[in-house]
Chain A
Amino acid sequence: MKKKTFNSLAIFGGNPLFEKQRPIGQLDKPPLKDFLSGLREAYDARWLTNGGRLVQRVEKICAKLHGVLHCLAVTNAGIGISILLRDIARDRKGEVILPGFSFRGLPHFIRWAGLTPRFVDVDKDSHALDLSAVKNAINKNTIAILAVSKSHSFGDREGLCALADGLEIPLIFDSVYALGAKYRGSPAGGAGLAEVFSLHATKLINGFEGGYITTNDGVLVERLQRYRNFGLGAPSHLFENIIGTNGKLNEVHAAMALASLPYLNNIVAANRIRFQNYLSALEPIPHLRMLESPQPAIESSSHVLNVLKIEAEWPLSRNQMWKLLSAEGLGVTPYYSPPLSRIQMNPSDVSPCQLPVSEKLAEHFLQLPSGKSMSEDDIKKFAGLCSFLLENAKAVKKQLEHIL
């Protein structure tokens, strides 16, 4: 329903523009029969976890997909990062450098590995680690660098790898948003010591929950196998002092991931179209811009996230837009705001810090709905709503003062 007066906005009691909520996450699903056929195989084999055949198949396919020698499936990406860091640390205490503008789980994964997060600032365009900030942060207590590939950009991968190599600091990548993207024509997966991906339902490969680690290091993968399975296995000096956990991917989730994997390219293609639709629809509207790669000549995105930049000149604040759009039935959320370096959710023993670029970035972005539920028409309706808000900004702003 098109809005006629500002009072018809849902936040002021009008009917929502979208009757059914448009979810923020990807939430694609494979054909049910493909999932059930994999699940049936596990059922008939009476083998539902502990490195089953389906998990082995996921690992084989994902290693090929990422062009790496090894892939290790895990319960989820978070535990993947924690076991990697535990193996790097080998009981040493110290710091892990990570971007201050990223996913709120990262400091927790680092603490579970017994290490301390050291937040550093990010590049204003790629939102990935700022190389000079990393250089300044490295000290004798640095155990590892946890870099993050953003959904719109890989950042300076080569620079980071060269820096880490030169200083012999283990570098791992949270590449959850790099799946389906390409850097210099190749998929992510083989950079640094290892990269970590997700099979969560809101990501490109829906495995309900799940994750995997890619690496070209054969010894590392053997050690990680122990970490994910309680350290169990034949004794060997290679595996001493591993404090394992349960990091296994189960066969039910593996069946779902296997059913989803063949559709990866289709999902990315549909995402590209959706992103183009967002770009076209917002093109005539000033001061609202979709977040795009700063280096399109060398990288592509899977557009698993659609992120809107609300420029300072836009008459409504990012938080006002968040509330207004949410009320209309759009799954939207502030993008990494407040920045990771000082969010309330951090563990109490993690010290907050102020990072100027991260702080500024955290004020301007809003994550928009992704996935098939956001049709071309929906995107046009969303853009129409934005135009309406621009036209009625003064009245809307005034009215909002009464309720927010």
Chain B
Amino acid sequence: MNNLNRLAWFGASPRIARELHAGQINLPSWEKIEKAMEKIFEREYFTNNGPLVQQFEQEFAAYLNVRHAVCVANGTFALMIMYKALDLKDEVIVPAYTFPATVQALSWAGLKPVLCDVDPKTQIPSILHIETCLTPQTSAIVLTHTWGRSAHSPKIETFAKKHGLKLAYDACHGIGCIHNGQKIGNFGMAEAFSFHATKIINAAEGGCVVTNDDGLAVKLRASRSFHACAQDPEGILRLNGKMSEAQAALALLSLEDLPLNLEANRIRYEAYRQALVGIPGVTLDDYNSALNNHQYVNVFIDEAKAGLSRDKVFDLLAAENIFCRRHFMPGMHNTPPYNNSLQNHKSMFKSTDWLCRRILQLPNSQNVSVEDVAIICDLIREIISLGPQIRLAKEE
């Protein structure tokens, strides 16, 4: 049992003194933030489509090479106004393996989300999964670029066209990710991004809808506030979705730091890749490295081979101040109220269940050094090697 005493769960001091969390939380320099806030105070322009919001929209649109970027207070509001502006009706097919906001925003927009399973490898629905959910009431497909992997494909586009369906994307994971030579943001009719603190562009909270459709952009701009605009479309549903100048200031600084943060993410990801080699039952979710933002470092824990469940590893790491996440447990098909109508269809979501049981998201941010990555991976290796003793201790 002596070996167990090295672990914080069993009484040792945590291997890492400060808390390390999954999620980006990349911060620009304090001096830059201070200066930006000073200027806002000088201008006394605090919100309502201010100069910094407009500047960020232009810069972000230019970065993605899209015609329009419409910023809002958070990524969920982006999804809500995107769904309304697209004028979707009745049923919308959406993956069960996604963050709740993708699905909940559909309900808020008065639509019926129809959940589908995903491919276990890409973690994105295939045509087959989507086709299973197709009914005469289906008006659209909304797919998530899960972990920055593009959900877009010519096949999906053709399928949507063939069935007269609108196609839009939850791109909250996708800043800086590239698909077929184009940045995520250029696909479907519109895409919604998040600038939540855990994303690679950090505005504390924040979101944005991007589109190349001029008419859609007019509707999106109008729908985020109650201010009359020159080209005001009548009858649209609006919300107070305004991004403040403080949020925009952070977003601009974060956009400036984006190349550095992308590179730092990639370096940490590669460090994880090397250090995780050979740990039984622990497999890194491998992205096509050149095309991803590496915002997320996920591993799959196979209990049969690792000897410990993902949840046990999660708890043991938390004791060491390493706070991982188990996205998207329990899956939207198991989340009330969406589970109510699916009681007899649980077998439809085998891959989502498989992923929800196994995935563990490891810390990857500015606050995590390559040395920290080595410590985290050593700990995982040690924990797995101590699996039989840990199980025994649990039973005792």
Contacts and interface: CB of A to CB of B under 8 A. Distances in A.
Nearest to A44: B30
B41 A243 contact: no
B30 A245 contact: no
Given A206-B46, A245-B80, A252-B247, A48 B204 contact: yes
Contact of A32 (B37, B47, B239): B37
Nearest to B337: A241
B75 interface: yes
A112 B237 contact: yes
B335 interface: yes
B354 to A, nearest CB: 21
A367 B242 CA distance: 23
A209 B337 contact: no
A36 B34 contact: yes
Given A49-B196, A75-B73, A79-B240, A252 B367 contact: no
B281 interface: no
A245 B108 contact: yes
Nearest to B21: A46
A345 B204 contact: no
A244 B337 contact: no
Given A231-B104, A246-B205, A250-B247, A209 B44 contact: no
Interface in B219-240: 226, 228, 232, 234-240
B80 A345 contact: no
Nearest to B366: A46
Contacts of A231: 100, 104, 335-336
A2 interface: no
Nearest to A348: B235
Contacts of A49: 196-197, 204-205
Interface stretch (A103-111, A132-140, A318-326, A376-384): A103-111
A88 to B, nearest CB: 15
A240 B338 CA distance: 10
B44 A27 contact: yes
Contacts of B337: 91, 240-241, 243
B146 interface: no
B247 A345 contact: no
Nearest to B242: A209
B202 interface: yes
Contacts, number: 145
A347 B236 contact: yes
Nearest to B205: A250
B171 interface: no
Interface in B51-104: 73-77, 80, 99-101, 104
A253 B74 contact: no
A76 interface: yes
Contacts of B250: 252
Interface residues of A, number: 56
B245 interface: yes
Contacts of A27: 44, 46
Contacts of B236: 347-348
Contacts of A250: 197, 204-205, 247
A314 interface: no
B25 interface: yes
A48 B246 CA distance: 12
Nearest to B194: A246
A133 to B, nearest CB: 24
A32 B38 contact: yes
Chain A interface, >50% SS class? loop
A248 B74 contact: yes
B246 A256 contact: yes
A208 interface: yes
Interface in B95-122: 99-101, 104-105, 107-108, 110
Nearest to B202: A48
B207 to A, nearest CB: 8
A29 B337 CA distance: 43
B33 interface: yes
Interface string B24-37: 01010010011001
B244 interface: yes
B204 A200 contact: no
A143 B80 CA distance: 24
A75 B30 contact: no
Contacts of A251: 204
A320 to B, nearest CB: 20
A248 B46 contact: no
B101 A246 contact: yes
Contact of B33 (A39, A112, A242, A253): A39
Nearest to A349: B235
A347 B235 contact: yes
Interface string B4-47: 00000000000000000000010100100110011001001011
Contacts of A114: 110
A232 interface: yes
B336 A240 contact: yes
Contact of B27 (A43, A108, A201, A256): A43
Contacts of B234: 344, 348
Contacts of B197: 48-50, 250
Interface in A214-258: 230-232, 235, 239-246, 248, 250-253, 256
A209 B47 contact: yes
A343 to B, nearest CB: 10
Contacts of B228: 345
Given A79-B240, A82-B239, A209-B240, 6 more contacts: A29-B44, A39-B37, A208-B47, A231-B104, A231-B335, A345-B226
In the A-B complex, the 3 residue pairs with the closest CB atoms? A348-B235, A201-B46, A246-B76
7 contacts: A49-B204, A77-B240, A82-B239, A245-B80, A246-B101, A250-B197, A348-B236
